[in-house]
Structure 1
Amino acid sequence: MSETTPAKRLPVMFIHGLWIHASAWRAWQDLFEASGHATSAPGWPGDGETVQATRDHPESLDDVGIAAICRHYADLIDDMPVKPIVIGHSFGGLIAQELLANGYATAAVAIDPAPVKGVKILPFSQLRSAFPVLGNPANRKRTVALTAEQFKYSFGNTLSDEESNALHEAWAIPGPGRPLFEDATAPFVRDSPAAVDTHNAVRGPLLLISGTEDHTVPLKVTEAVVKLYADNPSRTDFIKVEGRGHSLTMDAGWTEVAHLVREWITEREPALA
């Protein structure tokens, strides 16, 4: 299938997840801009402009929840002349699905996405990854940082200590505890902010991607999300990336995932223009 011309290519918005700064998307932005897309990677409300600025003022993220993050990105999209394709990682993947279902995006890619309401399984590795936050109820309104050791288990479990520590130093930021508590309690909350209309929303195409060795959002969790979309008439695709953990968007193998995403967008984009 032929590509659209660069002048007609849709803008792409990248959305980061918990504990990672938006600037970690810079290499992806360069790749997509070389293909003719205008790109942006706005931070969450409360993020600093840089990794260090966010580390210096973690209190700016205190009590920031899923609804506020979704509203932040929706407001940014409202100011754009064309609805973008949204690409999100981890909690950014959940946000991307919400934006798509509510008409703010033409298509979405959710990479190792935090589970939406309706997922009923909770693997041990997912619980252990979230324990630095969920282990203390007071963290619901606080901002929490991961140690290098915690980052290694949650993000860098398929990496060498050296590479995991380098990623932690380069991109890790404190993250608000509230989204994790909201996601964990979603099955018991009727109007949970983690809810996405997986059944009836008329939307553009969605791609879900999972690293098979992910500790933070294990493969079986993303597979459960895929099943929630089974009766939705809109297109939902799913790709497994063998041997990769939660760091797959920023570790040394990031280009493998980025090229998969770019190829999927190139195939779908002519029908979206």
Structure 2
Amino acid sequence: MTVTRDLQQIEDANASGRPPVVFVHGLWLLPSSWDRWADLFTEAGYAPVVPGWPDDPATVEEANAHPEVFARKSVGQVADHFCNLVGKLDRKPAVIGHSFGGLITQITAGRGLSAVSVAIDPAPFRGVLPLPISALRVASVVLGNPANYHRAVPLTYEQFRYGFANAVTEGEARELYATYAVPASGEPLFQAAVAHLNPWTEVKVDTGNPARGPLLIISGEQDHTVPWAIANASYKQQQDNPGVTEIVEIPGRGHSLTIDSGWRQVAETALAFVRRYH
């Protein structure tokens, strides 16, 4: 069902004649986390495409009832899935991704498939070395048990509060958890944890490709999962690309910055950058 829905979105985007924009979600979220962004970009004249990862359920309720569908999804598998979908568009799209979706966004750009890219609190790739304590604490939810490599791992509310919703009120944090949180594949976190030790890792980005196009990295100032040190190290890895490379920090925001009550500020920052180049 997910594949059929994704292909229909691509067909609709191609038929619209509008410039396409593809949204890529990260771990512990579903495509529905982008619904308000898709509406905003539609109003701005774009054709949004919001694909799922392979086997994503349609709803949060279905996802939490069948967590096993998230297991055994590697970075390479997900990247190839998105790149294949992007390749079916008649025009190179803008690609916007959050967290591990931000990593997939940079992989896609590094393959020369994007017109312009925005990576929001992006997960690190090979060569991005800082590992702040807060990021370790978040990753330990999965990495603390080697068996999680092949499992789907849910977050407790307390883990979600620390990793995603630390910069919002308690009431909003609980609402976000109930509305958006789903289990996630453990494999990408294990892959990212050892990427700098593995020359054959799937967690790598071709930062030098001159066809990469313009790239904006957005960092939430209070993000525990992908703190500034990681986002800025990704920016520095990308800086030598001949394309435009920019980074901006959004004050007072945590990892939930794409879904919480301040989402519009982040979305408009992304939209302004996309408009300059697409």
Equivalent residue runs for 1:172-211 within 5 Å: 172-211=181-220
Picking from 49, 67, 71, the partner of 1:62 is: 71
Name the aligned partner's letter for residue 181 of structure 2.
Answer: A
Picking from 120, 133, 149, the partner of 1:140 is: 149
Picking from 237, 251, 257, the partner of 2:246 is: 237
Name the aligned partner's letter for residue 234 of structure 1.
Answer: G
Deviation for aligned residue 1:239: 0.8
Equivalent residue runs for 1:63-102 within 5 Å: 63-102=72-111
Comparing 17-26 and 200-209, the one that deviates more: 200-209
Picking from 201, 220, 236, the partner of 1:227 is: 236
Deviation for aligned residue 1:227: 1.0
* Partner secondary structure for residue 249 of structure 2: strand
Query: Residue 113 of structure 1 corresponds to which residue in structure 2?
Result: 122
Task: Give TM-score scaled by structure 1 length.
Answer: 0.94
Query: Residue 6 of structure 2 corresponds to which residue in structure 1?
Result: none
Is it true that 1:11 corresponds to 2:20 in the alignment? yes
- Aligned-residue sequence identity (percent) comes to 45
1:117-174: CA deviation from partner (whole Å, max 9, x where unpaired): 1011110000001111010000001000001110000001111111011001001110
Is the Cα contact below 8 Å between 2:110 and 2:208 reproduced in 1?
no
Distance 2:62 2:87 in 1: 27
Deviation for aligned residue 1:69: 0.3
Distance 1:59 1:30 in 2: 31
Distance 1:118 1:63 in 2: 24
Distance 2:253 2:38 in 1: 21
Is the Cα contact below 8 Å between 1:91 and 1:114 reproduced in 2?
yes
1:54-93: CA deviation from partner (whole Å, max 9, x where unpaired): 1121111211110110111112122222221110000000
Is the Cα contact below 8 Å between 1:208 and 1:222 reproduced in 2?
yes
Is the Cα contact below 8 Å between 2:117 and 2:274 reproduced in 1?
no
Q: How many residues align?
A: 263
Query: Residue 260 of structure 1 corresponds to which residue in structure 2?
Result: 269
Picking from 155, 162, 168, the partner of 1:159 is: 168
Is the Cα contact below 8 Å between 1:211 and 1:248 reproduced in 2?
yes
Is the Cα contact below 8 Å between 2:112 and 2:209 reproduced in 1?
no
Structure 1 ranges of 4+ moved more than 2 A: 199-202
Distance 1:181 1:159 in 2: 28
Name the aligned partner's letter for residue 163 of structure 2.
Answer: S
Name the aligned partner's letter for residue 150 of structure 1.
Answer: Q
* Partner secondary structure for residue 223 of structure 1: helix
Task: Give TM-score scaled by structure 2 length.
Answer: 0.92
Distance 1:255 1:205 in 2: 22
Name the aligned partner's letter for residue 191 of structure 1.
Answer: W
Distance 1:203 1:79 in 2: 18
Structure 2: state its 5+ residue gaps.
1-15
Structure 1: state its 5+ residue gaps.
1-6
RMSD (Å) for aligned C-alpha atoms: 1.2
Distance 1:126 1:165 in 2: 21
* Partner secondary structure for residue 209 of structure 1: strand
Picking from 39, 42, 46, the partner of 1:30 is: 39
1:3-23: CA deviation from partner (whole Å, max 9, x where unpaired): xxxx76410010000001110
Comparing 175-184 and 157-166, the one that deviates more: 157-166
Is the Cα contact below 8 Å between 1:199 and 1:228 reproduced in 2?
no
Name the aligned partner's letter for residue 27 of structure 1.
Answer: R
Distance 2:209 2:82 in 1: 22
1:34-56: CA deviation from partner (whole Å, max 9, x where unpaired): 11111011111121011111112
Query: Residue 4 of structure 2 corresponds to which residue in structure 1?
Result: none
Query: Residue 12 of structure 2 corresponds to which residue in structure 1?
Result: none
* Partner secondary structure for residue 187 of structure 1: helix
